[in-house]
């Protein structure tokens, strides 16, 4: 038991006569570890991108709602009347009437 542990710690399994099988396994496990680390980094990057994009969507939606509410306030008749009163224009006292045009043949 003790000799087996010492041989593993000294690395005799890597330089013995049948070490080709061991090297193949070591290279295969190393490749799998590299692939696993790379895919983990790629997944983390995608998670960060999704979080950044969702924050950006929230900001843009907030800007849209703010712009829409400002537009609604500007388009209100009372705000238009106030702005035009400052320029000297007032609404008409006479209500509008429909004009009907009849074509005689």
Q: What is the pLDDT of residues 34-76, one digit of tens each?
A: 999 999 999 999 999 999 999 999 999 999 999 999 999 999 9
- Whether 91 is in a domain gets the answer no
- Whether 94 is in a domain gets the answer no
The number of distinct structural domains making up the chain is 1
Q: What does the mean pLDDT of the chain come to? A: 90
Could you tell me the residue range of the domain that residue 61 belongs to? 2-86
Could you write out the three-class secondary structure of the chain? CHHHHHHHHHCHHHHCCCHHHHHHHHHHHHHHHHHHHHHHHHHHHHHHHHHHHHHHHHHHHHHHHHHHHHHHHHHCHHHHHHHHHHCCCCCCCCCCCCCCCCCCC
> Which of 15-19, 44-48, 86-90, 91-95 is least confident?
15-19
Is-above-0.95 flag for pTM?
Answer: no
């Amino acid at each position: 038991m003790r000799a087996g542990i010492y041989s593993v710690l000294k690395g005799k399994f890597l330089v013995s006569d049948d070490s080709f099988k061991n090297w193949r396994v070591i290279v295969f496990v190393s490749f799998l570890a590299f692939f696993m680390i790379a895919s983990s980094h790629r997944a983390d990057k995608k998670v960060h991108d999704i979080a950044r994009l969702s924050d950006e969507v929230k900001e843009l939606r907030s800007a849209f709602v703010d712009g829409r509410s400002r537009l609604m306030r500007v388009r209100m008749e009372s705000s238009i009347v106030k702005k035009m009163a400052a320029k000297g224009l007032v609404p008409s006292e006479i209500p509008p009437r429909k004009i009907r045009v009849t074509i005689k043949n």
